[in-house]
Amino acid sequence: MPATPLTPTTRYFPPGVRKVYWVPTISNYNAPTRGELNAGTDLSAEIETMNGWSLQGSTVDVPDMGSRFTSQVPGRLTSAQNDMTIYMSQTSNDVRSLLPRDTNGYVVCLWEGDVTGQRMDVFPVRVVTQANDTVVDDPGKTTISFAITKLPAIYITIP
């Protein structure tokens, strides 16, 4: 009997669907409440690009005298550079006032939209830097870099 095929996906185009929230406080980031998410700020419409926002794993070799083969076990988890490039406002009323350097909080990525029962990732973070774009022919942008401060809550249910 052949293997069971994976359920066919409902494919989508992320712009207009994906949501990214800045949430200053969450009591248990492994299970945020709807009230905590609603108290956040929806950054989605101001984000040009996002980089990172995932975990990378390493492996550790575990050789033994019983075999010439060196097996491996999962090692440390890390999160590489995590940043967002966000549009600036000519009035200076933009993300720079919301996320100054050393601000702690949570970046909540609702990859398929804010739909109760679907999945999201919650990243405990601290703002590292703000770097303003100086390209003359582009719209004003700033890149906010984040340090992930604890193991993110990945693929948890949206309340």
Q: Is residue 119 part of a domain?
A: yes
Q: Which domain holds residue 129?
A: 19-55+69-157
64 domain-assigned: no
Q: Residue 151: give its domain's CATH number.
A: 2.30.110
In a domain? residue 121: yes
Q: Are 146 and 83 in contact (CB under 8 A)?
A: yes
pTM score above 0.75: yes
| Residue 95 included in any domain | yes
Q: Is residue 11 part of a domain?
A: no
Does residue 6 belong to any structural domain of this protein? Answer: no
In a domain, 114, yes or no: yes
Q: How many domains does the chain have?
A: 1
| Three-state secondary-structure class, residue 50 | strand
pLDDT tens, residue by residue, 10-47: 999 999 999 999 999 999 999 999 999 999 999 999 99
* 44 phi/psi in degrees, rounded to 5: -50, -50
CB of 52 within 8 A of CB of 125?
Answer: no
Q: Is the residue at 45 inside a domain?
A: yes
Give me the percent of the chain exceeding a pLDDT of 90.
93
- Among 45-49, 63-67, 131-135, 146-150, the range scoring the smallest mean pLDDT is 131-135
Say how far apart CA 104 and CA 149 lie, in whole Å: 9
